Amino acid sequence: MKFWQRARAPVQTAKGKKINRRADKLQRVAARGLADADAVTALGCALGKQVAKIVMRHPNLSIDEMLHLVCQGVHEQAHMAAGSSRKTDDPNEIDKGTVQ
């Protein structure tokens, strides 16, 4: 199962519930006292640092591969949260910007 496919529906396992709660908390903390764009920038900085940390621990991964997966997951989550029908199972459509 690919990263962005796991992100489609809230996971009902204990680990999934913990991840969903943490994501909600991170969103609230990032948005507190900041404009929306600044909150997104703060979350992006945190994501970038976390990706770098993972790649340093696992040198067989590349930053570009990890960021590609992260971006796909963020894309799916944004559409889910907005109730948008602009979803795709084909990551190549996301890469080409052809998702409608």
In a shared domain, residues 50 and 78? no
Structural domain of 51 = 10-58
Residue 19 tokens, joined: 């991840």
State pLDDT tens for residues 33-57.
999 999 999 999 999 999 999 999 9
Q: Same domain for 52 and 72?
A: no
Q: Is residue 69 part of a domain?
A: yes
Provide the token pair at 54: 């993972």
CA distance 64 to 51: 10
Question: Does 85 reside within a domain?
Answer: yes
In-domain check, residue 1 = no
Residue 42: its H or E element: helix 36-57
Are 21 and 46 within one domain? yes
Our count of domains for the chain comes to 2
pLDDT at 89: 56
- pLDDT, one tens digit per residue, over 13-24 is 888 888 889 999
Task: Look up tokens 């109730």; give the residue.
Answer: 83
What the block records as the tokens of 12 is: 């009902």
Domain end, chosen from 58, 75, 90, is at 58
